[in-house]
Chains A and B, each alone.
Chain A
Amino acid sequence: MKKQKIYCFLAGAVLMASLAACGGGAKESSASGTSGKTEAESGKEESSGKAEAPDSADSGSIRMSWWGGDSRHEATLKALDAYMAENPGVKIESEYGAWSGWTDKIATQLAGASAPDVLQINWNWIYQFSSDGKGFYDLKQSKDDFDFSQYDENLLEQMTIDGKLQAIPIATTGKAFFWNQQTWEKAGLSVPKSFSELLAAGPIFKEKLGDDYYPMAAGEYDLMMLLTYYMQESYDKPWVENGAISYTKDELADGFDFLKKLEENHVIPSQEKMKGDGADSIDKNPNFIDGHYAGLYEWDSAVSKMQGALADGQTLVLGEYPADYGKPSTIYKISMGFALSKDTKNPKADLKLLDYLLNGEGVKTLGLERGIPASKAAQKTLSEEGKLEGLVYEANKAASKNYRFTLSPYYEDSKLKDPSEGAYYEIMDNMSYDHEDSKELAQQMIDAVNELESSKA
């Protein structure tokens, strides 16, 4: 074969391949795109006005982003449409999607100075992305543009770094136990009130319903929080104190023994089984949806999503906090906040919108989609509307009564919590996949947590 000919046809082949690649790429971006625009703005796409009247609260363009499930998206879009109808000078561009990959997206936007004007953020993000308080707009500069009096000082304090208010707390959330009533009934059991009942239920599920039925489902991070619950209840100490884990190696080994017992007693599926289900999260797991996994230790703010995922005829009920080993001590924290980008052009307009969503009329539309609101005005509105009830509300109330220790702001740092790289995941997989010794696991946990805490000190 002549060299020239070879080059000619290779060039042609490469051209073909690159054209095919272009086609694939285009598909990819549309498939992964999760941003959207609200109905009200669709007709006026052309007249973007970022630069117009930067100091006016009633005009201009606002980019806003959040993550969540479908019901949260629908409610938020509806509230934004209503706001734009009331404020025709304001155009809101919304960017929303599922939690999976959201942190990466926001981190990239923040680093590239292309973050939306208004962002829904996780509580720990203020420590992760703004450790010096300069990562987000300091809301103390705009005290008069938002009704901060609706929030407990304590909550605002938790959102403050180096004297700079980083975000407005949207809601508090706590971990609670939820059980699939129908599956438990099918197993001939009432929902468990203690860990001993839960441990006894495993073999009964296996015998009566089959090998693939479990009283509870827990991924690696759920296991981590179950461990925290168990440790705080058993040893009456917070998970982290004075920048270090508060338990001895032996105490933590006892915690890992407890988790191992859950797996051995057929209470929770192994991590191999959970991963084999091929779902990104429990609410998308077919075994949870059809009731094979009959319980969760879940955030109250996420329970609507979980309930919504269940197949028809199945309901989640709130469980009691098990108190076998001491006084219950669940995890309770600010679930999320709204922050403004440090580069926002019009904080007045941003804050007017947030005041509408968090303290004003928007509360009626948003309901409990982001958990129980931290705003007193919102709580009053929802109470008058009769919306401050139901599973989310009951769970939040129970969690607020059963929490005793404040969570370290670094508990959820991505070095610990990230599914691909986080230490929690690695250690829990060491336990579930490799059945490593509890003392070894305890040491790994102590090393990981203490290293992170000291690096942030």
Chain B
Amino acid sequence: MSRENAADILGIGAQRAMTSWLHQALSAHPGTWTFPDFHPVTSSTKEAHYWDWNHKRGPDWYKVLLRPLEEGKKSLDVTPEYAFLTDRQIEECKALNPGARVIYILRDPLARAVSGIRMHTVWASKNAPAEEVSLEMNQTFLDRCERARIWDHGACAANLRRWRRRYPDLLVLNYEELRADPLAGFRKVLSHCGLDWQGLDEAARETLTERARRHVWATPRYALSPDCLHFLAGAMWPLREALTKETGITFEEGDALMEGVA
């Protein structure tokens, strides 16, 4: 059987906005398919990284990687770096996956940037505990901002506009709402992906409910100096403004982060 899409469900980000949760919860559904872990060619079974790392391997490689062994299952690729693909890449994505269901979880760009920098600090410090590392305004911090690509990941409004041009019915979720009520968000996801909730048996529903409640991939809360936080607030300010203008969503996380910072 020839498949319509290489990937049937695409999670495009945002990085640090519960995409691992999304992937875990979705892969517990019997109607979905998760590709095998080809680390380090892929990142675990979640991120195929076709357009950034693996494009040179060609579309057939991608199709084979994502092809489900059981017919009729919906294949998942949740790669947060897809958020900032160029218009041309998204056009190619549409050609490869014309009927894919696309999901984009939006998070306050400031809070997202702080979380992204903490994730990169986990890697740079070889998993140091929270109280052992704090970030000051210096070249290391600035380099980490670059490496974490906070401007690309944070440009949600521009990313959303590009993706909507090809996938006008893309599902947008607000991280803050998802955090508060993951199960409600998850049911939106299922319905968007054409996956059944009612028809599932009790055990499957229980597993899904349990997974939807999991808190996945929290980073140690490394301290950032006031200079770092104000720098990030300024760096993300135009992106936050643009996102609110684009979606009408007012984010609260970032303001809460800045509360009481000298």
Q: Do A and B come from one complex?
A: no
